Structure 1
Amino acid sequence: MAAITAALVKELRDKTGAGMMDCKSALAATDGNLEAAIDWLRTKGLAKAAKKAGRVAAEGLVAVAVRDNRGVVVELNSETDFVARNLEFQALARSISDVALEKGGDVAALSSHHYPGGGTVGDAIANAIATIGENMTLRRVAEVQVAHGHIGSYVHGSVADGLGKIGVVVGLETTSKSEELAALGRQIAMHVAASNPVGLDIASVDPAVLEREKAILAEKNAGKPEHVLAKIVESGMKSYAKEYTLLEQAYIHDGSKSVGQVLKEAEGKLGAPVTITGFARFALGEGIEKEETDFAAEVAAAGGSAG
C-alpha cells in the first residue's frame, strides 16, 4: 500500500475542500491515488464541495475569541461578502474560533479537531460548502496568551459579536487587577487594528525585511562616503521602527506619545509593570489575489446582450 503522506492529504484537501480525516480515508481506500480519491469523496456526498474548491475565497469573516489569559484570531474565507451575513456561516466562524481557543494548533491541527455536534472542523466546513453553495477556506489562526494579566481584543467592521473584517488580540503581561487594564487592552488592540505594525519592536521584525530596507536606503544614497551612508542607514532604520513597530509607533489615541510611553505611564494607574507579550492582527482577505471581474459585462452577458 502506498504511503499516505501529510503533503498528499493536504493536496487532496486543497483540491476538494473535504475534511482532513475524510481525505485520509479516501487516500487509504484508493491506495494513495489522488484522482481516485477525489472520485471517492464525490461518491460520499462531497461532490459539491469538490467542484467549488478551485474558486477564489477572499471574503468571509475574521473571528476573535478570548477566555481568561488566552485569545485567538481565526480567518474563515468565503467567495462573497453576502455569505458573511449568513447566520449559518457566522455560527460556523464563531464555533471554529471557540475550538481554536480550547484546543489551539495551526490550521491543519484545527481542521482535524472535533467540531461541536459531530465530525471535525474540516467536516463542518465541507458540509457548509455543500449547504451554502460557496467555496470556503479556513485560512489561518493565531493565538496570544499571558501568564498573568489581560488579553485585549478588538473587531473592526463588526457584523456580529466577535466577528468582522479585522480582528486583533493583544497580550498584556502584568500582576495588576485594576479595572484600567481592560480599557488599556482594548485601546491598544484598536491601535494595532488601525496602524498594522509588522512587529512588537525592531528586534522582532524579520531580519530579511530589515536587510531589504537597509539595501533600499543604501541604493538611494549610493556614492556617498561610507561613514555618511552608515549614519543615513541608521537614521532610516530608526524611522522605520517608529512607523512600523508597535512600541515605537505614535499612539493613535494621543499622537504625542509612543505606545511604549503610554504603557510606561499606565503603570502608575495599574500599580504594577505592564508589558506587551505579543499581538495578532488579521485583516480579511489580505494577501489573497482576487479575480478582477467586469460586473456590467457579466450582467449584459446574462441578459444575452453582450457584444
Structure 2
Amino acid sequence: MTDAEAPLGSAFGEDVRRFEDYLTRERNRSAHTVRAYRKDLELFLLHAARSGVSALAGLELRHFRAWLGALDEAGLSRSTIARRAASVRSFMDWAVREELIPVNPALRLRAPKRNSALPAVLSQSQAGALLDGLDESTRQGDPYELQRRAMLELLYATGVRVGELVGLDIDDVDTDRRTLVVLGKGSKERTVPYGVPAAHALDDWLRRGRPQWASDRSGPALFLGRRGGRIDQRTVRTQVKGALDALGDSAARGPHALRHTAATHLLDGGADLRAVQELLGHSSLATTQLYTHVSVDRLRRSYEQAHPRA
C-alpha cells in the first residue's frame, strides 16, 4: 500500500479500483499504463482529502486548480503536469458515465501544454559508432555482451519499445524472413523487419549466449536476466543508457532514443510515413509526423552550416 493510498480509505479507494478494472478490461491498457493512472489519481485524491473532500461528489474545479498549482510550485515539468491532469480528467469522465457524479467538475480544467521539444536522436555516424563498437566486446562469448549487442541492434533496427523488446519470445523471431512479431500497445500485434547486422547479433546471442543463462525459469523468453528469467525493462534501460553515455557526444539517452533514431533515419532515407507508422505501431499518423519535424530540423541545421547564403 502506498503512502497516497492509505489515507484514501473507502472514500475513494473502491472507485479507483473500479477505474483500474475499466482501464484493464474495457480499454485494454497495459499494466504499466494502469499503474501510471493510479499513481496520478492517488496523488490528486490525497490532495483533495487533505482539503476536506471525503467523496467524489464533493470535488469542485477549485480543487483541481489548486492541485495543478501545487504541482507547478513543486517544479514539475509541463509534460508531467499535463499528463496528470489528463489522468484525472479521464477518471472523472468515467465517474460520470458510471453515474457516480452528475457532472465532471474537471471539464473546464486547463493544464499547461506539453513541452514541444524534439526528441534527441543519434546521427548515422553516432549510431554506427555505438553498434560497431560492440563487435569487439562479443568476441570472447560473454553472454552479457552478446545479449547487450543483440538488444541494441534490434532496438535500432526495428524501433520497438523497450516493453515490446523484453516481451519477445523465441517463437516471435522468424530468422528466415528476418522479422519479429511484436505485441504492442492495446495488445495489437505487428510484424517488424530487421536487417543483417541485427540478424548476426541475434544469431550470436541465441547460439552462444542464451544457452549459458537459460534455466527452468527461462521459458520461451528471448532475452534473459543473469538468473535465467525474462529480462526486465529496468535492466535494459540501464544497459542502453550506459552504452549511449559512452558515446560522450550525444544528448540521446535510453531505449526510446533508439526508437526516435530509427524512425528519423528511416524518414531521412526516404521511407514512406505510413510505413514508419506501421513499423512503430503508432495508432495515429500525427504521432509519426513528429519525426518529419526532427528530419526537417536536422536538414535546416545542415543547410545553415553549409550554404553560403543561409
Q: State if a TM-score over 0.5 links the two structures.
A: no
Q: Which has the higher contact order (CA 8 A, sep 6+)?
A: 1
Normalising by structure 2, we get a TM-score of: 0.29
Answer 1 or 2: which has greater helix percent: 2
